[in-house]
Amino acid sequence: MASQSVVLTGVGRDRVGIVAELTDALFEQGCNLLDSSMTLLRGEFAIILMVSLPETTSIENLVERLKPVQQKLGFNLNARLLSDDELKSHESDDPIFVISVYGADKPGIVSGITRKLAALGANITDVQTSRTSEKQSIFIMILETRVPKSLKASHLTSELQAVAETLSVDISVREVDVVEL
């Protein structure tokens, strides 16, 4: 059996030790952590992990061995085997932009901004949203996007400004200077 890569997604009530317990269990199974994203959303902890299984472990075996950890943590995990195509790097040399949106909280902000980005051919690679206290109710969204080289920064900005006006929110668009290490 050749080495396989698996994506694990999970969510559960936040508590101290989730990352330690889960990564310890993966380490004990001989897994190598490739990529991860983890975040806390109002008391719920969400996790996405990409791991490489050792040649001696099947995805079914991994899922079975993670069941005690899930029960201990009160955490729901899903595992999916990744195909060779999914493992290929999705690196792009398209420019990266960070888009910040602020305004009074109301339905439709995320939909309106992301719909315009999709229409422009931008690939959203990360989104963070939050809302300030119930009293003030200010909505904040930060997006990281890859924008086709053919799309000029000025055109991206003007298109997003037009959407922001219809949504009554403030928006800023900033290109990220990528430094090779």
CATH code of 141's domain: 3.30.70.260
Residue 2: the pLDDT is 66
Q: Are residues 61 and 78 in the same domain?
A: yes
Residue 1: the pLDDT is 56
Mean pLDDT of 55-59: 90
125 found inside a domain: yes
The structure's pTM equals 0.77
Buried (b) or exposed (e) across 97-126, using 16+ Cβ within 10 A?
Answer: bebebbbebeeebeebbbebbeeeebeeee
54 found inside a domain: yes
pLDDT bin (cut points 50, 70, 90) of residue 89 is: low
Tokens coding 89: 């790097």
Mean pLDDT of 79-99: 83
| 137-176 pLDDT, tens digit each | 899 999 999 999 999 999 999 999 999 999 999 999 999 9
Alpha carbon separation from 131 to 13, 36, 136, 137, 139 (Å, rounded): 20, 25, 9, 6, 5
What domain range is 134 assigned to?
96-176
54, 87, 120 — which closes off a domain?
87
Q: Are residues 65 and 9 in the same domain?
A: yes
Residue 132: the pLDDT is 83
Mean pLDDT of 87-107: 87
Q: Are residues 75 and 50 in the same domain?
A: yes
Is residue 135 over pLDDT 80? no
Is residue 10 over pLDDT 60? yes
* Contacting residues for 170 by C-beta, under 8 A, at least 6 apart: 101, 102, 103, 164
Q: Give the C-alpha separation, 167 to 163, whole Å.
A: 6
Q: Are residues 83 and 100 in the same domain?
A: no
Please provide the DSSP assignment of 39-51 as one string. EEETTEEEEEEEE
pLDDT bin (cut points 50, 70, 90) of residue 87 is: confident
Number of domains in the chain: 2
Mean pLDDT of 37-48: 92
